[in-house]
Chain A
Amino acid sequence: EPEVTQTPSHQVTQMGQEVILRCVPISNHLYFYWYRQILGQKVEFLVSFYNNEISEKSEIFDDQFSVERPDGSNFTLKIRSTKLEDSAMYFCASRAQIDTEAFFGQGTRLTVV
């Protein structure tokens, strides 16, 4: 069964460092998303990506964040200068069409120390 794959599963980084979280969405999907979940809180939308560009982003997704789909299969989230409050589980998701369900990856747990 096709699935969304995320790497790494866990990343520890020092405050101020750049991190890149990687995702391989399901191959025929068109819509890609990043969400995050701070421990004990709800899942929050960060950004959506369609047709090789950002289609929507939340207030959380400030200038420190960027997304890329460099090669038609990978979908990356970059945090330029990490802060302690960026510590969270980051989920990648993808959807085939506009009115279909989103499938989530297993997540990357980011710990900023």
Chain B
Amino acid sequence: EDKVVQSPLSLVVHEGDTVTLNCSYEVTNFRSLLWYKQEKKAPTFLFMLTSSGIEKKSGRLSSILDKKELFSILNITATQTGDSAVYLCASYSGAGSYQLTFGKGTKLSVIP
């Protein structure tokens, strides 16, 4: 059974802190790993990682994939209250149309 595990499940930090969110995966026919931010309803896309060791960056957010260790991290520097959300890690797996297998998410709360 495909599995995506995120840690920690929740995290409370102060504005300005740097956080690292973790994601490990065990999936058949791995294609890529994705990070989403879920604030109220829809998951919104952050990154898609396919190759090991190549960091993807967008503003204060960055992410990297380690295909040998089956692991990815999402870093957020200089956190702001607007970063408060659930961060979802998901992997494309399976055959054919490649559905996403999601982790439980990390709930990040940034307090002023």
Interface set of A (CB-CB < 8 Å, partner B):
4, 31, 33, 35, 41-45, 48-50, 55-56, 58, 89, 91, 93, 98-107
A56→B96 contact, CB < 8 A: yes
A91→B99 contact, CB < 8 A: no
B101→A50 contact, CB < 8 A: no
B interface residues, how many (CB within 8 angstroms): 25
B41 on the A face (CB < 8 A): yes
Kindly list 19 other residue pairs between chains A and B, CB separation below 8 angstroms, not including A33-B100, A56-B96, A106-B42: A33-B97, A35-B100, A42-B104, A42-B105, A45-B101, A48-B96, A48-B97, A48-B99, A50-B96, A55-B96, A56-B97, A58-B99, A89-B41, A99-B32, A101-B34, A102-B45, A104-B43, A105-B42, A106-B41
Can you give 17 A-B contacts (C-beta < 8 A)? A35-B100, A42-B104, A43-B43, A43-B90, A45-B99, A48-B99, A50-B96, A56-B94, A56-B96, A91-B42, A91-B43, A98-B98, A101-B34, A102-B34, A102-B100, A104-B36, A104-B42
Bound Cα distance A91, B100 (Å): 12
The answer, among A49, A101, A107, for a CB contact under 8 Å with B48, is A101
